[in-house]
Structure 1
Amino acid sequence: MQRIPVEDYAARIRELFASVRNRPQEFVPIALAADRVTAAEVRSPLDLPIFRNSQMDGFAVHAADVAVVPVVLPVRGEVAAGAVDPHALQLGTAVAIMTGAPVPAGADAVVPIEDTRAAGGGVEILRTRASGEYVRAAGSDLSAGSLLLPPGLRLASRHLAALAAANLSEVAVRARVRVAVISTGNELVEPGGPLGHGRLPDANGIALASAATAAGAEVVAVELTGDDPARLAAVLERTISGGAELVVTSGGISMGAHEPVRQLLEPLGAAVGTVDMQPGGPQAHGTYRNVPIVCFPGNPVSSQLSFALFLAPLLRETAGLTAVTRTALPLSAPLTSSPGRRQFLRGRRTADGGVETVAGPGSHLVAALAAADVLIDVPADVTALPVGATVDTVEL
């Protein structure tokens, strides 16, 4: 069977993915908007700050009244944060004011409390303050109508604070791709379940769902089926009816007798073949009820590498997230590779700015994958590389 080059297969998955790439916008409450990506620019409906307010606890004054110090001024009340329409400040007087409180009309400076001391029924000002000192002018942060947040921005806590400060309760974000994850295999049980002889915990469901979420998708279902194609069809019907726009499966696509994904989808036109890579050679893709399905091998390492290479870039691009990066790094230790097939070896960055392999090419070495932070892309014609040789790496 002819092996498909990695780049060619990636192009096929991109073409399959085209039906879900153009995302509409949706409005979500800002309390639920963390890590979502803005679909349009956001302009502030208000001046920020909304009104003139005090930067310090202290005394609001006319700057002209404190041009010469020390000076004692009578105190005419107090303005606390949340005060509504405080009385105008008369010349020759001061008013106690708290941080964030509205500065009364007439006052044009605030003297911090540490620059004062009590003086009978008034306050003694010990330091001069010029007009505007410790007064936050309305709109000094941002004027109403100005750009608050650009489109394509992944929202973090600081962005949500700006939205809330502008009195916005919701924000337009890109709709996320709704993904269903299905693991196949009679040998699999839910993690934490009873393990009889020959049974294995399903590592793919949680891993692929987590990877999809990190890539900006919304996981709508995580299912575990056996080796029965009819049961797989029922799960597909349920998840697609439940809103899945993309289905990711693991296992069931090899040449054996119990390959439910292949048995169900190949007669419906799915392409099943081998990509020129190790691990992760067996791959398949197609549609079911017009919904794209991307089918990865069952070995956890193979499925994770396949996701990183073929789906993560598309999901991140669609979500507006930063692209998966490739970086050329020097080897910190010698590298060997099996001839004849392109290898994606697990690697980790080293303290000297290089990279080293974590383990061999085996697709079952899931603990080694956990210790890796990059994949080392080794061409098929390379069997060994010395320390210092430059290799292409893919961020995990």
Structure 2
Amino acid sequence: MAGPLLPVEEALARVLDGVAPMPAEQVPLDEAWQRTLADDVIATRDQPPFDASAMDGYAVRGDDVDQKTPRLSVIGTAQAGHAFRDTLGPGQAVRIFTGAPLPDGADTVVIQENTRREGDAVVLTEPGQRGRHVRRRGLDFRAGDVLIPAGVRLNARHIGLAAAANHGMLAVRRRPRIAILSTGDELVPPGGNPRADQIISSNDRALAAFARAMGAEPIDLGIAGDSLQALDEAIGRGLHADVLVTIGGASVGERDLVQQALTARGLALDFWRIAMRPGKPLMFGRLPSTRVLGLPGNPVSALVCARIFLRPLIAALLGRPHRDELEMLPLAKSLPENDQRQDYLRARFVHRPDGSLAVEPFSLQDSSLQQSFAAADCLVIRRPFAPAAPAGSLAEILRLDF
């Protein structure tokens, strides 16, 4: 007997059980984009490292700009990268440009629009305000501040911040290696010449792109035919990976041989049937150092299962938060009551007459329909035995952002 179907949450907990983050590696800052931090990024200096002018104008003493229309002697110039080295005294000013260090003795910058130059003197045409237009040392951050916490996936803004803190190298998690194996005599690669009884293999390409989007390194094991020898050879090539993903052939048909081939390699099977739709014949187990995730062969089932199970597994391997924050949106149309399987309905965002956002599940939900999946914005989650949901009621959604 196959036994009862495993609930999605329990299946996910088993997939994630005992997952440890990948080891850290040092990479140059220019190669750290989209990598996941292994250690906090700590500021090595103050930013700015000195009191700096925020505008072009004149560096002055606050005591000298309180009076109406003061006339000050200009004793020098300060530019970015070229500080004025002397000390500013009473009745004096220094011509200063944006980003230049404020001279000793100065505490204020008067913008050039509020001045009139008269030879070696400058006349303030508008009263100045003590402390204006100065970026104080450490305004952005101080040495020792945690600028980016470990576990963050680095974007362009993070890269700029790390560079400003004088980091040329960063510690990031090694990318998890995800070996992807398609199975079935009916499959041929894209761009080939399929026979009339064959179809194009698309799941492997989609899953490779998915793995990259999640921060992993996909490894293409190709397409294995429906024989134990072909499957064994392909599985052997994937045993160095952190996760082996098989596509198709994991059900109970006479030619569904993937479980047999994996078992012969020593697979400790955990489960292979879960209470979800699409994706009921999902398999999970472990070889000595490799997690094995057997995805259904239908294209939508494979990618939905990847969204629910492979995505959090990759996140956990990278030391990132891996629990989804579900959103709630009103339904644009009613849905019938659900059975014992948790549904993931492909849906799109629509705007209601008042301009607010709603979600509309597609009418056809067959797990082979890739065109509607490509057009979908999200998955609407229908819990087991959920009652009928009228239009306008709130639904749980997962965004499709890959």
TM-score by length of 2: 0.84
Residue identity matched to 1:368 = S
Q: Tell me which residue corresponds to 2:121.
A: 122
1:50 positional shift: 0.7
**Equivalent pair of 2:180/2:245 in contact (CA under 8 Å):** yes
The 1-side partners of 2:159 and 2:90 are apart by 41
1:351-366, aligned counterparts within 5 Å? 351-352=351-352, 353-366=357-370
Moved more, 27-36 or 374-383: 374-383
- Paired residues of 1:325 and 1:395 also in contact (CA < 8 A): no
RMSD of aligned Cα (Å): 3.1
For residue 22 of structure 1, report the CA deviation from its aligned partner. 3.6
SS at match of 1:51: coil
Q: Which residue of 2 aligns with 1:18?
A: 17
Change (3 A) 1:337 1:230: farther
Contact 1:184-1:225 within 8 A present in 2 as well: yes
Per-residue deviation at 1:293? 0.9
Deviation readout 1:123-166 (Å, 9 max, x if unpaired): 32222324422222212332222332334434333333222111
| CA distance 1:342–1:109, shift in 2 (3 Å) | closer
SS in 2 for 1:145: coil
Displacement of 1:219: 1.7
Report the 3-state secondary structure (helix = DSSP H, G, I; strand = E; otherwise coil) of the residue aligned with 1:247: strand
Distance 2:57 2:396 in 1: 60
The match for 2:245 is: 248
Aligned residue number for residue 187 of structure 1: 186
Whether the 8 Å CA contact 2:11–2:274 is kept in 1: the answer is no
Give the distance between the partners of 1:25 and 1:305, measured in 2 at CA: 30
Q: Give the Å deviation of 1:349.
A: 3.5
Paired with 2:48 and 2:351, the residues of 1 have a C-alpha distance of 46
Q: 344-353 vs 164-173, which deviates more?
A: 344-353
1:65 paired residue number: 64
For residue 78 of structure 1, give the secondary structure of its aligned residue in structure 2.
strand
Residue 93 of structure 2 aligns with which residue?
A: 94
Among the aligned pairs, what percent are the same residue?
34
1:309-355 CA-partner distances (Å, limit 9, x unpaired):
22323333454146323345543223357867554332233324443
Note the C-alpha offset of 1:369: 1.4
Deviation at 1:167, TM superposition (A): 1.1
- 1:383 to partner: Cα distance: 9.1
From 218, 222, 226, the equivalent of 2:220 is: 222
**1:29 alignment counterpart:** 28
Report the CA distance between 1:70 and its aligned residue: 2.4
2:365 maps to 1:367: no
Which residue in the other structure is 2:5 paired with? 5
Secondary structure of the structure 2 residue equivalent to 1:369: helix
Residue of structure 2 equivalent to 1:145: 144
Counterparts in 2 of 1:321-336, with a 5 A limit? 321=321, 323-336=323-336
Aligned to 2:176: 177
Find the aligned partners of 2:59 and 2:367 in 1 and give their Cα distance: 71
1:277 counterpart residue number: 276
SS at match of 1:356: strand
Amino acid at match of 1:299: N
Q: Which runs of 5+ in 1 are unaligned?
A: none
Task: Give the residue type in structure 1 aligned to 2:216.
Answer: E
Write the distance in 1 (CA, Å) between the matches of 2:383 and 2:110: 70
Q: Using a 3 Å threshold, how does the CA distance of structure 1 residues 265 and 86 change in structure 2: closer, same or farther?
A: same
For structure 1, which segment, 220-229 or 323-332, has the greater mean C-alpha deviation from structure 2 after superposition? 323-332
Q: Which amino acid aligns with 1:348?
A: R
Contact kept, 8 Å, 2:24 with 2:173, in 1: the verdict is yes
Counterpart-to-counterpart distance in 2, 1:314 and 1:269: 18
Contact conserved, 2:300 with 2:368, CA < 8 A, in 1? yes
CA distance in 2, matches of 1:251, 1:105: 73
Indicate whether 1:387 and 2:354 are aligned.
Answer: no
Structure 2 residues without counterparts, runs of 5 or longer: none
CA distance in 2, matches of 1:341, 1:148: 44
Give 1:33 deviation, angstroms. Answer: 2.8
Counterpart residue identity of residue 141, structure 1: D
Quote the Cα distance in structure 2 between the aligned partners of 1:98 and 1:315: 49
1:92 to partner: Cα distance = 2.9
SS state at 2:37 partner: coil
Q: How many residues align?
A: 392
Is the Cα–Cα contact under 8 Å of residues 278 and 361 in structure 1 kept in the other structure? no
> Deviation digits for residues 22-57 of structure 1, max 9, x if unmatched?
444443333333344433433322112111211111
- Provide the rounded CA distance (Å) in 1 between the counterparts of 2:342 and 2:61: 76
Contact 2:212–2:218, Cα closer than 8 Å, also in 1 = no
Q: C-alpha separation between the residues in 1 aligned to 2:147 and 2:387?
A: 54
- The aligned counterpart of 1:350 is 350
C-alpha contact (below 8 Å) 1:53/1:101 kept by paired residues: yes
Q: What letter is aligned with 1:101?
A: A
Q: In structure 1, the residue corresponding to 2:80 is in which secondary structure?
A: coil
- Do residues 212 (structure 1) and 211 (structure 2) align? yes
TM-score where L is the length of structure 1: 0.85
* CA deviation after TM superposition for structure 1 residue 196, in Å: 4.0
Which SS does the other structure have where 2:14 is aligned?
A: helix
